[in-house]
Amino acid sequence: MSAKETALAKVQDLYLIQCELWNFLDAEQVDAERMKTAEKMLRDFRRLLKEVDWHYMGGEDVLQSMSWIPQEVSQKLKRAPVRSAPAKVAVRADKKEESKKTKPAVRRLKN
């Protein structure tokens, strides 16, 4: 791979990670697995942000505009409550039958 292709690949990776981080920022609820993924992507994004050549990105202003993303994601990671997946409760079939039997019968009153 030539130097130009390597530089373009880094820029492409940076843009892909940027999109994923935007999705993380837009999410209202975040579970533990998604937070771990965001932390890993954030590390990769910061690394690539230092390595990319702004000449291949469209200018130095584009690189500067991307510098706020790690700060925003870090803030959300710090303040986001971790929501674990709800535990699944198994309901036994005999319990269902039992609950049907114990329900009081409704009688209609005759006038």
Distances (CA, A) of 76 to 15, 35, 48: 20, 10, 21
Smallest Cα–Cα separation from 47: which of 10, 19, 12, 20? 10
Could you state, in order of their start, the residue ranges of all structural domains in the chain? 3-102
Span 78-106, average pLDDT: 61
Which residue type is seen at 41? Answer: M
**Are 31 and 17 in contact, with CB atoms under 8 Å apart?**
no
Q: For the stretch 25-40, what's the b/e string if a residue is b when 16 or more beta carbons lie within 10 angstroms of its beta carbon? A: eeeeebeeebbeebee
Which pLDDT tens digit goes with each residue over 7-59? 999 999 999 999 999 999 898 888 889 999 999 999 999 999 999 998 998 88
pLDDT at 101: 59
**Distance between CA atoms of residues 96 and 30, nearest Å:** 34
pTM for the model stands at: 0.67
* Residue 89: pLDDT over 70: no
Is the per-residue pLDDT at 78 higher than 60?
Answer: yes
Mean pLDDT of all residues in 89-104: 59
